Amino acid sequence: MDHHDDEQELLQCFLQSQESSFKVTNYFKIYAELFKHLRGTNCTFIETGVFNGGSLFMWRKWLGDNARIIGIDLNPAAKKWEQYGFEIYIGDQGDPEFWKTTFNSIGNFDVLLDDGGHQSFQQIVTVSEALKAAKNKCIIAVEDTITSFMKEFSAHREHSFLEYVKDSTDSLLIKNDHFFPGEFPIVQNQKIVDLFSLIYSVRFFTGLVAYHVDPDIKERPNLIWNKIPTESVSDFRYNGLSSARVDWPDPFTDKSIIVKG
11 within domain boundaries: yes
Tell me the mean pLDDT in the region 227-232: 90
CATH number of domain containing 75: 3.40.50.150
27 within domain boundaries: yes
206 within domain boundaries: yes
Distance between CA 200 and CA 216 in Å, rounded?
A: 9
235 within domain boundaries: no
* Residue 59, φ and ψ in degrees, nearest 5: -65, -40
Contact present, 203 and 142 (Cβ < 8 Å): no
Residue 47 has pLDDT above 90, yes or no: yes
* Residue 259, φ and ψ in degrees, nearest 5: -110, 130
Please name the residues in contact with 174: beta carbons below 8 A apart, sequence gap of 6 or more. Answer: 184, 187, 193
The domain total for the chain is 1
Residue 156 has pLDDT above 70, yes or no: yes
Specify the 3-state DSSP secondary structure of 92.
coil
197 within domain boundaries: yes
The separation between the first and the last C-alpha atoms of the chain, rounded to the nearest angstrom, is 46
pLDDT value for 62: 96
Tell me the mean pLDDT in the region 206-227: 91
**With bands split at pLDDT 50, 70 and 90, how would you rate the model's confidence at 83?**
very high
pLDDT value for 71: 98
Q: Which of 122, 101, 104, 147 is nearest to 48 (CA)?
A: 122
Structural domain range at position 163: 3-223
pLDDT value for 1: 55
Please name the residues in contact with 97: beta carbons below 8 A apart, sequence gap of 6 or more. Answer: none
239 within domain boundaries: no
237 within domain boundaries: no
Contact present, 78 and 50 (Cβ < 8 Å): yes
pLDDT value for 2: 67
Average pLDDT score over the chain: 94
Calculate helix-pair angle for 54-63, 3-15, nearest 10 degrees: 140
Tell me the mean pLDDT in the region 102-123: 98
Residue 218 has pLDDT above 80, yes or no: no
**With bands split at pLDDT 50, 70 and 90, how would you rate the model's confidence at 34?**
very high
**Better pLDDT: 219 or 216:** 216
pLDDT value for 70: 98
Tell me the mean pLDDT in the region 22-44: 95
247 within domain boundaries: no
